[in-house]
Amino acid sequence: MLQRAVAVVFAVLLVGCGSSGLTPVGGVVTLDGQPLVEGTIHFAPADGQSPSQAAVIRDGSYSTELTKTSYQVQIFAPKPAKVVAKLDENGPGGGPRVEELLPSRYNVQSELTLNVAGPTRAANFELRSK
């Protein structure tokens, strides 16, 4: 009887240690043929059922784990603004500001998609500034 109970507990533990349903995904993001120095990449599931995910882009590369589904992809790359706001003596504000380096078709009005069917290190995005 004790052996059977131990076997059942062991089987439950094995099932519980199974895959999280996530698969490794990574790739390279380029802008005008050059690796994007830094930014973030966001994955929003098209079906609205899976969790969203984001990853940091460094020297063009990113990696994360995603659920197997289709995603809308948004890529952001902030850069310092050319115009710096003046400091306001009466309240917060001022200091350096940032602007988006990439056209809106890659982020807030994204045209990018990714279908994740399994592990990949070739989910690359070739972006153009014009």
22-121: which CATH number, 3.30.460, 2.60.40, 3.30.1140, 3.60.21? Answer: 2.60.40
Q: Which amino acid is at 31?
A: L
pLDDT mean over 16-37:
86
Cβ(29)–Cβ(41) under 8 Å?
yes
Distance separating the N- and C-terminal Cα atoms of the chain: 72
Q: How confident is the model at residue 12 (pLDDT cuts 50, 70, 90)?
A: very low
Rounded to whole angstroms, how far apart are CA atoms 68 and 125?
19
Domain ranges of the chain: 22-121
In this predicted model, what pLDDT tens digit does every residue of 109-121 receive, in sequence order?
999 999 999 999 9
Rounded to whole angstroms, how far apart are CA atoms 126 and 48?
26
Residue 17 has pLDDT above 50, yes or no: no
- The more confident residue out of 114 and 87 is 114
In this predicted model, what pLDDT tens digit does every residue of 91-109 receive, in sequence order?
565 556 778 999 999 999 9
Question: Residue 83's pLDDT is what?
Answer: 64
Q: How confident is the model at residue 34 (pLDDT cuts 50, 70, 90)?
A: very high
pTM above 0.85, yes or no: no
